[in-house]
Amino acid sequence: MFRLARRKKKVEKKPRTPFEIFTEISARFLTLTVAAFIVAFALECILLPNKVIDGGVIGISMMVNYVTKANLGLVILLLNIPFIFLAWTNLGKMFVLQTFYSVSMLAIATNFFESLHHPVILDELLLVVIFGGIILGLGVGLILRNSASLDGTEILSIKLSKKFSFLTIGEFLMGINLLIYTAAAFVFDLKQALYSILTYFIASKAIDAVIDGFNSSKSVRIVSESYKDIGNAIMKELDVSVTYMKARGGYSGEEKILTYCVVSRLEMAKVKAIVKGIDPKAFLVIEAVHEVEGVRVNTRGK
């Protein structure tokens, strides 16, 4: 069983050494650097040569680059600076520092790939959309996972959603990107704008996969009269601890025992087989768990 907190015993946090702090910060900024180069590769080598753009500030910058031939990295940096200052009071100094570093590295990386005078890697638009979106999402996801951002429109949306509470952050982002892709239809053409929207969709799914993790777990709630047999079987066959919780039926008013556990996706089929093998009428609720922290505790023998 995954335990997020244990209240029985208060564990004092061991203070980190300066070396541990330095190692953590160095690893984070190294990841931000690599991620910025991944994003720049997707932009310069796959998307921009095929007139396919991203959303947000990067998408605006790509259109400005196409129309004016201005340096893409410099445009991205200049357009993001006002939004970075906007985030100073709302999202914290460390976020601002890491965001400024990430945007600066992206500017350097785009200039690096542009200086290589690379040939067009892909010219089949469907492949451009799929692989460009995946690579772009991988880089952006790594940056978001390390508490930074490349897109000032997200910061603006957070600010606007606080001022105008009748719209969510996602709705503001959707509105801003709708305007950007409408503009793309005039700068390029309607087909390129539609391909850009598809790229943005694929990139967003890749971002979710990076942030949530590929090894997402499943939480399982089981209601059955044979809860002890089911719980013992799960612990024995999967080496996973379970938690028993009291519940009360809404119609019957009877007290029931709810069995709870967290397992990997690979173990899910085995859990279902165990439950149905003991009690075919058991009620199961299965939910995705994108992130689990703490220790997987095996309570057997205690």
For residue 262, what is the enclosing H or E element?
strand 255-264
Residue 40 CA, distance from chain mean position: 19
CB atoms within 10 A of CB 205: 13
Alpha carbon distance 37, 65 (integer Å): 19
pTM above 0.85, yes or no: no
Q: Is the dihedral angle over the CA atoms 155, 157, 160, 164 positive or is it negative?
A: negative
Token pair 């357009």: residue: 79
Tokens 């799929």 — which residue? 130
**Where in the chain are the domains?**
18-212, 217-296
The per-residue pLDDT string of the chain (302 residues; one tens digit each, 9 = 90 and over) reads 333 333 444 445 567 788 877 888 889 899 999 999 999 999 999 998 899 988 888 999 999 998 998 898 899 999 988 888 877 766 678 888 988 999 999 999 999 998 887 666 777 889 999 999 999 999 988 998 888 888 888 778 777 777 777 667 667 788 888 899 999 999 998 999 999 999 989 988 888 788 766 556 788 999 988 889 999 999 888 888 898 998 877 777 788 889 999 887 767 888 888 999 899 888 998 887 766 665 454 544 44
Count of CA atoms in the C-beta half-sphere (13 A) of 28: 17
Between CA 128 and CA 51 the distance in angstroms is 10
CA 260 to CA 222: how far, in whole Å? 6
CATH architecture for residues 217-296:
2-Layer Sandwich (3.30)
Tokens 């890491």, residue? 98
CA dihedral 221, 222, 227, 232 (to 10 degrees): -60
